[in-house]
Structure 1
């Protein structure tokens, strides 16, 4: 009789083969619906023996998917013309920080060679690309191995994402490469799509070149690319020095990649980090308040996640 371990291994192997084959044919699944499909399918594959949990999995992941799909469409809906997007405050901040120089322009002048792809250009491309996957893969891991932390994690991610959307709506802002195109600063190359095109990933390159799908060209303030790694750093800070170093280096690497790559001003990144701190603190305080109210009512149903929220600020 075939064991569950063998069946589970075959299912996981089939999942990986299908994922690789689909990626080779259609490109990387960057769009939220595609990405979530593969994440949930992967969770189902590794939870084959616990198939009764699939209903709960769909119940907990579907609202998050729906929210992010709506967010994608709404973010594009609040876009304004390039010339009317804000530039002065973030440019003034970057010049102040750079002693009169714009950090992006300075870095590209000293490091970037338009005729040659350096190893660090590939490095910033991979770091930038990780934004589309890391935050959701971590969510999947938490759902599987630390389910009591999943709801709080998702709450922080949703909070910082909605904060960013509100800012995009109220304050559309130019990224450095667009400011360069409009003559606001010196010439800036878009290094990430250049590297992407060098490797021939057509679907992903089109995403950057046209502005369709996931990208709003004037949704630069704050940088969610910077906010998400900072959120991971804060969320896992109490889990030990390995997490602090790992996510700390990831946060800094993402920040450098965004500035050097021409995708964001330093000001966008600093505000993204601040948003991550605000969202994390707000969710933790809300959890702490909710847990204390339940405890005051004598409610015995306080979850481990809520107790963790109390300890966070105790």
Structure 2
């Protein structure tokens, strides 16, 4: 075989070897993702749901690394690209003492009065627990517990899917997530506010002066005179406790997931307890729904709307937030979305102007030829009159004239 033939065979084998390697890596990635999913399911069954956001972030990063095996640069991007989410979680932890450092008094009574004004003297949290709370959690409280916990999981899942499918969309979502969370954290430091469950445990005398972490917050609402700052329940269902309770984790009891409920309680105790205004639970839910609204099939839009409303109901019924907190959370989400939309529009316009300036700086002889512009057709000139042709003499008559002229000579 000649050297030319050997070179031709080698050039044909190289693409085939590359395709074989790609197929093997694809199988490896699928196996790694399957192992990752099995580990997540096993830990969920044995240890409960990952209510710790740091653990959720670790789960997602591990899954993305498994899906990027064989792509070294992409694996490095996992660490770099998910750093903003880690910074958000760190900021949450640091925000616990922000109210004390800034020195702003905590709002205890204003949110209650705002809800009373909105609902003509009735506090929605008190009314809902009077009407719906039972001694044992009904089946639908399982749904409420899942909806509440989706706040700690869904944004990261959406970000993970976008990271794999569309990097431009992922960047847009990250800006929304980071902007909304940092705006909320800044407001928490400037305007600390106690949630309904804390107001039910404290009397006006206990919170005089607006303390951020009054000792009364860590006791039961049972026996607190007149229902504390929140107000007393006037009635209750059979077997239900006649005071306002923080019941967002009760639904897990129906699934025998008491460990999950305990983890939720531990997680709630470690976060900022006076971060009620605005409700980031409501704001982030609305922001995710708005982000996905034009990116999903139309059949999913009622589900997105129902999700936002169900989250609001969950927060009010379980004494996590006032209605005013939810309205302010929605308003903050809308403001951040509008600002980011204008920023994107300004950035595109700036890029367009920059491209135009770059074109103007190119010498004329290096610029591409302008496309030929079709000229408008000129009006047609009037046709000139055609002269009539002179009559042609017939050949017979011409011959006779010539013969006559010759005879005369």
State TM-score, norm by structure 2: 0.67
- Residue pair 2:194, 2:274 contacting (<8 A) in 1 also: yes
- CA shift for structure 1 position 236: 2.2
Structure 1 counterpart of 2:119: 98
- Residue pair 2:145, 2:250 contacting (<8 A) in 1 also: no
Mind listing any 5+ residue stretches in structure 2 that lack a counterpart? Answer: 1-19, 203-227, 233-242, 359-409
Determine helix, strand or coil for the equivalent of 1:78.
helix
Q: Say yes or no: does 1:276 pair with 2:333.
A: yes
What is the correspondence of 1:98-177 to structure 2 with a 5 Å cutoff?
98-113=119-134, 115-177=135-197
Structure 2 counterpart of 1:310: none
Structure 1 counterpart of 2:352: 295
Question: Based on CA coordinates, which of the two structures has the bigger radius of gyration?
Answer: 2
- CA shift for structure 1 position 53: 1.4
Structure 2 counterpart of 1:13: 34
Structure 1 counterpart of 2:207: none
C-alpha distance 132-300 of structure 1, shift in aligned 2 (>3 A): farther
- Residue pair 1:32, 1:68 contacting (<8 A) in 2 also: no
Structure 2 counterpart of 1:312: none
**Residues 179-188 or 102-111, more deviating:** 179-188
- Cα distance in 1, alignment partners of residues 171 and 300 from structure 2: 20
Structure 2 counterpart of 1:217: 273
What is the correspondence of 1:158-307 to structure 2 with a 5 Å cutoff?
158-182=178-202, 183-184=228-229, 185-186=231-232, 187-196=243-252, 199-202=256-259, 204-208=261-265, 211-213=268-270, 215-239=271-295, 240-298=297-355
Cα deviations across residues 85-119 of structure 1 (Å, max 9, x unaligned)? 31333222211222211001101101111x21112
- Residue pair 1:8, 1:48 contacting (<8 A) in 2 also: yes
- CA shift for structure 1 position 286: 1.0
- Cα distance in 1, alignment partners of residues 118 and 324 from structure 2: 9
**Residues 276-285 or 192-201, more deviating:** 192-201
How many residue pairs were aligned?
295
- Residue pair 2:245, 2:318 contacting (<8 A) in 1 also: yes
Determine helix, strand or coil for the equivalent of 1:298.
helix
- Residue pair 1:28, 1:204 contacting (<8 A) in 2 also: no
- CA shift for structure 1 position 22: 3.0
**Residues 98-107 or 69-78, more deviating:** 69-78
Measured on the aligned residues, the alpha-carbon RMSD in Å equals 2.4
- CA shift for structure 1 position 26: 4.1
- Cα distance in 2, alignment partners of residues 18 and 265 from structure 1: 38
Cα deviations across residues 165-193 of structure 1 (Å, max 9, x unaligned)? 11111111111111111101223111113
- Cα distance in 2, alignment partners of residues 177 and 212 from structure 1: 13
- Cα distance in 2, alignment partners of residues 234 and 210 from structure 1: 28
**Residues 280-289 or 1-10, more deviating:** 1-10
C-alpha distance 132-211 of structure 1, shift in aligned 2 (>3 A): closer
- CA shift for structure 1 position 24: 4.0
Determine helix, strand or coil for the equivalent of 2:248.
helix
Structure 2 counterpart of 1:73: 93
**Larger helix proportion of the pair:** 1
Cα deviations across residues 12-66 of structure 1 (Å, max 9, x unaligned)? 221112222333444433333321111011112233354541122222112331x
Cα deviations across residues 63-94 of structure 1 (Å, max 9, x unaligned)? 331x11321222212255xxx63133322221
What is the correspondence of 1:52-91 to structure 2 with a 5 Å cutoff?
52-65=73-86, 67-79=87-99, 85-91=106-112
Structure 1 stretches of at least 4 aligned residues deviating more than 6 Å after TM superposition: none
